Amino acid sequence: MNRRRLLATAAAIAAGLETEQAAGAPEALSALLSRVRREHEVPALASLVMRDGKVLALAVVGVRKQGDPTPVTVRDRFHLGSCTKAITAALVGLLVEEKRLRWELTLAEGFPDLRSTMRPDWRAVTVDHLLQHRSGIPSMSWPKGKTFSDMHALPGTPRRQRQAYVELILQEPLDSRPGEKYTYSNANYALLGALAERVTDSAWEDLVRNRIYRPLGITTGGFGAMGTAGRVEQPWQHRRSTGAYVPIEPGPRSDNPAVIGPGATAHMALEDWSRFTGAVLAGAAGRSGLLRAATTAHLVTPRYGGNYAGGWLVLDRPWAGGRALSHAGSNTQNFCVAWLAPLREFMVLVATNAGGDDAFPTCDAVAAGAIREFLTQGKV
């Protein structure tokens, strides 16, 4: 299928997304969210359940900001944290289909101007290694001796900041040979974003908007903290402190630095998120859409052992009928999780505007409850 037909198919998928919810389903999901929110006392919770390409239920409960009565709405944006990685992986897949990138492209080839200055062990790291966290880099986001604030303070546009970051990170020693060891690191996806920028001469943010969001009809997609400082127009982020959730005012430094944006900074409303994850679900089920089916298959297949592929954990779950795809995301001030079951054409998304240790069990309780309610009739 050529690129024009693929984009037309992706647009058709987006346009045909069924948003008429099943009778009684939103109420059942809302009741689940309300119960879990009471138990965990988070500011807001949101969830979407899809099956066979139809949104069975979409519900939100709670407030945008702790201490403020403004309620969340179904069009409010939630932070995706590391679920951004699947978006960047899909972008890489598009560029592979266009032959601008290759799965086996090495960093020595991708950054030829840095070949002589990068540490020699980086030169053999490939796109596939980065996608699957198999580059050999330790679990780190910043170069040694650098801080969160240092990364925010890098000069220039986000693209220029990422270029400076790449030059720094390629000086870091690897702690294993490429392909040998799984170590989760935001640096892997920062490098992928920088490679995409290099071969297209476009900023990662613009590439995502134009190549992912626009074809899928995603209109609420953005980057960084949601909303505007001084206003409660979107969910505020929250940190747990002395047993209570403290709201974090939106601003340029209230999210991850742009240097790791390709792995950590996307936000959008859940219905829009389902347009992206629905495209992944379709591809994993063997249908072409945003990507060719073979490209999605490559992205969701671990290639070096383990269970991590291109932005997804690949797991076996009885309720999924076999293979399930999952990923969680957090910038420590939000949390979200996605579960996709390609063999059942089923998906559940959950998000909260709260971080901390309790955010994972909060979202996990909603996901498990939604699977029981809408897929397994009480059994998981």
Say how many CA atoms lie within 13 Å of 117 toward its Cβ.
9
The confidence band for 252, taking pLDDT boundaries of 50, 70 and 90, is confident
Please, what's the b/e burial string for 279-294 (b: 16 or more CB within 10 A of its CB; e: otherwise)? bbbbbbeeebbbbbbe
Mean pLDDT within 244-255:
94
Same domain, 77 and 115: no
Same domain, 11 and 79: yes
Same domain, 249 and 372: yes
Q: Is the Cβ–Cβ distance between 100 and 204 less than 8 Å?
A: no
Any domain includes 229: no
pLDDT of residue 187 exceeding 70, the answer is yes
Same domain, 56 and 73: yes
Same domain, 149 and 27: no
Same domain, 99 and 185: yes
Give residue 24's pLDDT: 67
Look at 266 and 3; give whichever has higher pLDDT: 266
**CATH code, domain carrying 331:** 3.40.710.10
- Predicted confidence (pLDDT) per residue in 322-373, tens digit: 999 999 999 999 999 999 999 999 999 999 999 999 999 999 999 999 999 9
Any domain includes 365: yes
Mean pLDDT within 250-273:
97
Q: Is the Cβ–Cβ distance between 178 and 129 less than 8 Å?
A: yes
pLDDT of residue 16 exceeding 50, the answer is no
Any domain includes 24: yes
Mean pLDDT within 281-307:
96
Same domain, 283 and 358: yes
- Predicted confidence (pLDDT) per residue in 77-129, tens digit: 999 999 999 999 999 999 999 999 999 999 999 999 999 999 999 999 999 99
Any domain includes 168: yes
Name all contacts of 277-280 with Cβ < 8 Å and 24+ positions apart: 277/86, 277/338, 277/340, 277/347, 277/349, 278/13, 278/17, 278/50, 278/53, 278/347, 279/10, 279/13, 279/90, 279/216, 280/86, 280/90, 280/312, 280/325, 280/340
Mean pLDDT within 305-325:
97
Any domain includes 111: yes
- Predicted confidence (pLDDT) per residue in 212-228, tens digit: 999 999 999 999 999 99
The full DSSP string for 338-362 is EEEEGGGTEEEEEEES--STTHHHH
Q: Is the Cβ–Cβ distance between 10 and 279 less than 8 Å?
A: yes
Same domain, 9 and 110: no
- 3-state helix/strand/coil string of 315-326: EEEHHHCEEEEE
Any domain includes 238: no
Q: What is the pTM of this model?
A: 0.93
Residue 2 CB coordination number (10 Å): 7
Give the domain range for residue 26. Answer: 3-84+245-257+266-376
- Predicted confidence (pLDDT) per residue in 49-86, tens digit: 999 999 999 999 999 999 999 999 999 999 999 999 99
Q: d(Cα 11, Cα 9) in Å, to the nearest integer?
A: 5
Give residue 377's pLDDT: 72
Same domain, 348 and 271: yes
For the record, the structure tokens of 326 come out as: 């999952």
Any domain includes 56: yes
The confidence band for 378, taking pLDDT boundaries of 50, 70 and 90, is low
* Domains of the chain: total: 2
Mean pLDDT within 288-312:
96
Same domain, 32 and 134: no
Give residue 3's pLDDT: 47
Q: d(Cα 343, Cα 79) in Å, to the nearest integer?
A: 28
pLDDT of residue 315 exceeding 70, the answer is yes
Mean pLDDT within 21-28:
76
Same domain, 71 and 122: no
Give residue 6's pLDDT: 47
> In this structure, is the dihedral angle defined by the CA atoms of residues 354, 359, 362 and 367, taken in order, positive or negative?
positive
Q: d(Cα 260, Cα 51) in Å, to the nearest integer?
A: 33
Q: What percent of the chain has pLDDT over 90?
A: 89
Give residue 243's pLDDT: 82
Same domain, 274 and 347: yes
Give residue 9's pLDDT: 46
Nearest residue to 161 via CA among 60, 269, 256: 256
Any domain includes 230: no
pLDDT of residue 15 exceeding 60, the answer is no
State the average pLDDT for the chain: 93
pLDDT of residue 17 exceeding 50, the answer is yes
